[in-house]
Amino acid sequence: MGHSDRQAPGAVPVKPTLYRHPHGITAVDAEYLYSGHAAAHIIVDAGRAAFVDVGSNDSVPYLLAALEELGVPRAAVDYVLLTHVHLDHAGGAGALMRELPHAQAVLHPRGAPHMLDPARLVAGSKAVYGEERFARLYGELVPIAPARVRVVADGEHVRLGARELTLLHTRGHAEHHYVVVDEAHASIFSGDTFGISYRALDTPRGAFITPSTVPTQFDPLQHLASIDRMLAYKPESVYLMHFSRVSGVARLGELLKAQINEFVRFTRAHADDADPAPGIRTAMLAHWVSLLRLQGSTLAAADIEKALSGDLELNTQGLIAWLKREKRQ
């Protein structure tokens, strides 16, 4: 289903693409932008279920079809865990909640107001994407009723079936971000705090990962601290929205932190440019190509640029926004 062909949840049967992982975890391709870009995760334990992030309104039919394929009744979904309210993660939450009679939307205190009344979130997103592209990607956001929103403090726990999940506030990518720690199963659902790792860029040496420094709240020191906080749990697996399960987490964490420091270096190097964007973008792409070559990638530079083109643009915007804040301090 294309983003211009919007339909009501459940109106037409769709075939979800599922990736089955250990410990009752299934990734569902949210079919956002293109297949293999965004994964919503379903956790099932003792007959109860939770979503972690949900994609856009167009993703909702795929998520509902995934429940059906897994044999999970909609009434068995207890939580919609929204790591943050960027619209690729939470844009479809209101529409999905309409289909889940008993679910609570679990949100960071800074994110909850934007799900209750999306007006400011919509305005900010239109500033990034433009009116036309926003409409094509996200459509009309559905507010979530206050009675169905649960706001969680840093370190708060939620119980799903027989397992306990811990929610940690993790600033750096966004002020309203938390991650979901499933300590008993050595897993963390990281939203965007632990970066992005597209399967198309995997090499024989493992996954490649990059930070997400999108507008408007990227902060390198906070981001580094959040990554370290996650690594302290020594997770075996991290579940990314972009895209699903990665292992070898300690290596990936160090790769992320080194890149954040390098991003800061080259962003500051272009601080006095009349337009810092071209220099930052060029440096970022060159850095990624170099790192992939060190990891054994044989992809052409043009293919690497194509795979990371959206991230190059948004990351550059986020670094410029951070640079402007730094200059004001």
Per-residue pLDDT of 267-303, as tens digits, reads 999 999 999 999 999 999 999 999 999 999 999 999 9
Name which of 227, 215, 238, 210 is nearest 307 in CA terms. 210
Contact (Cβ atoms closer than 8 angstroms) between residue 94 and residue 141: yes
Indicate the domain borders of the chain: 18-248
Contact (Cβ atoms closer than 8 angstroms) between residue 70 and residue 42: yes
Mean pLDDT of 299-312: 96
Instruction: Say what the pTM is.
Output: 0.94
Given a cut of 90, whether residue 175 has pLDDT beyond it is yes
Given a cut of 70, whether residue 10 has pLDDT beyond it is no
Which residue has 């964007």 as its token pair? 277
Given a cut of 80, whether residue 201 has pLDDT beyond it is yes
Question: In the chain, what is the straight-line distance between the N-terminal and C-terminal CA atoms, in Å?
Answer: 46
| 59-69 confidence digits (pLDDT tens) | 999 999 999 99
Contact (Cβ atoms closer than 8 angstroms) between residue 191 and residue 106: no
Mean pLDDT of 172-199: 98
Architecture of domain 18-248: 4-Layer Sandwich (3.60)
pLDDT of residue 81: 99
Given a cut of 90, whether residue 329 has pLDDT beyond it is no
Contact (Cβ atoms closer than 8 angstroms) between residue 141 and residue 121: yes
With cut-offs at 50, 70 and 90, classify the pLDDT of residue 167: very high
Mean pLDDT of 99-114: 98
DSSP string for 40-105 = EEEEEETTEEEEE----GGGHHHHHHHHHHHT--GGGEEEEE-S---HHHHTTHHHHHTT-TT-EE
| 45-86 confidence digits (pLDDT tens) | 999 999 999 999 999 999 999 999 999 999 999 999 999 999
